[in-house]
Structure 1
């Protein structure tokens, strides 16, 4: 199935409506929040430091995520990074590779949005074993640092743009 990670503002009204019905499993809410809160973050107080992206499968939204840059970066992030937040795959679509598709498309989408960034960062709850495994499998690197988050200890992971990928982006 063909997928595309697209900026929220490029969605049609019908796709925005479909996205608003995205639901995660109840046990995932503590980690990712719900779509209402994610869209609220994006739309209620718009900021050039926050961008939303939807993963489309056959032109239907199946996942959503937020990226943040200054002045909206969390305290744990590097100033030249963008941070990943609220990654959500619809519960009816989980286990079909859509989380992986989001992560694979994310570096290019992030660089299109903010060409100056040098890395992507995220914070994941230490107990969120499924997410931690997915991130590590996709090449994110655990910094080895943990800090007290809102529901437990969180690990910081990064995806650093290397010189090879920077050069290939210029082509």
Structure 2
């Protein structure tokens, strides 16, 4: 069974309670519970989970409009934030599968979106490599984030969710 990307809802809370994120991971990303709390207050934030065999393997948030504006001036962009893999599921290729499915997911649920953007910590070389392999491009933009310098990476979509 492949991974399936689904919007988080409270029916998944018990599974997410078993999601393990280490202090080392928290150096670069936020905890899913914090991201869900923020999303409940902000309708532009959409928590998403990757599920395989009824188990959450990955978590991230798609942040529309105001969230993306800090990272790009593209008017039809969405921000990928708080991307993580459950500690017990690391090294199994789930993050790569998740990111491979992401363009189609975004085009299906956010048809107006033409660009995905993310900020990755300059010290997080493994994540930079993962995002590069998934088709995100470093166009040279940098900014300071809460946890250090961020490299801004872009993924330009066409209507089929393919990089252009």
What TM-score do you get using the length of structure 2 for normalisation? Answer: 0.89
What is the alpha-carbon distance in structure 2 between the residues aligned to residue 123 and residue 4 of structure 1?
24
The reply to whether residue 154 of structure 1 matches residue 150 of structure 2 is: yes
Per-residue deviation at 1:46? Answer: 4.1
Contact 1:23–1:34, Cα closer than 8 Å, also in 2: no
**Runs of 5+ in structure 1 lacking a partner?**
none
Count of residue correspondences: 161
Per-residue deviation at 1:71? Answer: 3.4
Contact 1:20–1:35, Cα closer than 8 Å, also in 2: no
What is the alpha-carbon distance in structure 2 between the residues aligned to residue 151 and residue 54 of structure 1?
23
Query: Once superposed, what is the RMSD of the aligned Cα atoms?
Result: 1.8
The reply to whether residue 75 of structure 1 matches residue 46 of structure 2 is: no
What is the alpha-carbon distance in structure 1 between the residues aligned to residue 129 and residue 85 of structure 2?
16
Contact 1:100–1:134, Cα closer than 8 Å, also in 2: yes
- 2:32 aligns with 35
What TM-score do you get using the length of structure 1 for normalisation? Answer: 0.86
- 2:138 aligns with 142
The reply to whether residue 90 of structure 1 matches residue 71 of structure 2 is: no
Summarize the Cα distance change of 1:88–1:166 in structure 2 as closer, same or farther, 3 Å threshold: closer
- Per-residue CA deviation, residues 61-86 of structure 1 (Å, 9 max, x unaligned), is 11111001113334122321001001
- 1:3 aligns with 3
- Per-residue CA deviation, residues 84-113 of structure 1 (Å, 9 max, x unaligned), is 001111100001011111101111111222
